[in-house]
Amino acid sequence: MFAIVASMSIEAAQSVLHSDHGETATKATWSEFAAAMDQMHSAMRTTQSAGDTDADFVTLMLPHHQAAIDMAKTELMHGTDPQLRRLAQEIIVDQQSEIELMRRWLQKRNP
């Protein structure tokens, strides 16, 4: 936990260490989830088709994976269930790895 906190801004770290899990925190958390989804939908809507199924798939999956990472970070900051926190950590690692793979594929395809 402290390794994650160490990589955050001071304000975010204080939120993690001194989080109030009451109604206000729930509303704030929901807003963070919604913001991640809104960013994903916006990015996906503004993406132009390359006319290539493979490239279109990868281009659309990038914001999808980023939203999963953003939502998992919110879970780590505000969630309390140990099993879900572990899942969130795994999502972050896995999705970041997949994003890197997709970016490399796109660069190789379109240098």
Task: Give the model confidence (pLDDT) of 22-78 as tens digits.
Answer: 566 688 899 999 999 999 999 999 999 999 999 999 999 999 999 999 999 999 999
Domain holding 29, by residue range, is 22-109
Contact 46, 63 (CB under 8 A): no
CA distances from 82 to 43, 74, 76, 87, 93 (A): 32, 14, 10, 9, 17
**Considering the domain boundaries, does residue 102 fall inside one?**
yes
Cα(42)–Cα(39) distance, integer angstroms: 5
> Structurally, how many domains does the chain consist of?
1
Q: 3-state DSSP call for residue 20?
A: coil
Those residues with Cβ within 8 angstroms of residue 102's Cβ, 6 or more apart along the chain or in another chain: 58, 61, 62, 65
**Considering the domain boundaries, does residue 4 fall inside one?**
no
Residue of higher predicted confidence among 18 and 55: 55
**Considering the domain boundaries, does residue 32 fall inside one?**
yes
Average pLDDT over every residue of 13-20? 48
Position 12 confidence tier, pLDDT thresholds 50, 70, 90: low
Task: Kindly report the pTM of this predicted structure.
Answer: 0.76
**Considering the domain boundaries, does residue 16 fall inside one?**
no
pLDDT at 27: 87
The tokens for 40 are 């994903």
**Considering the domain boundaries, does residue 83 fall inside one?**
yes
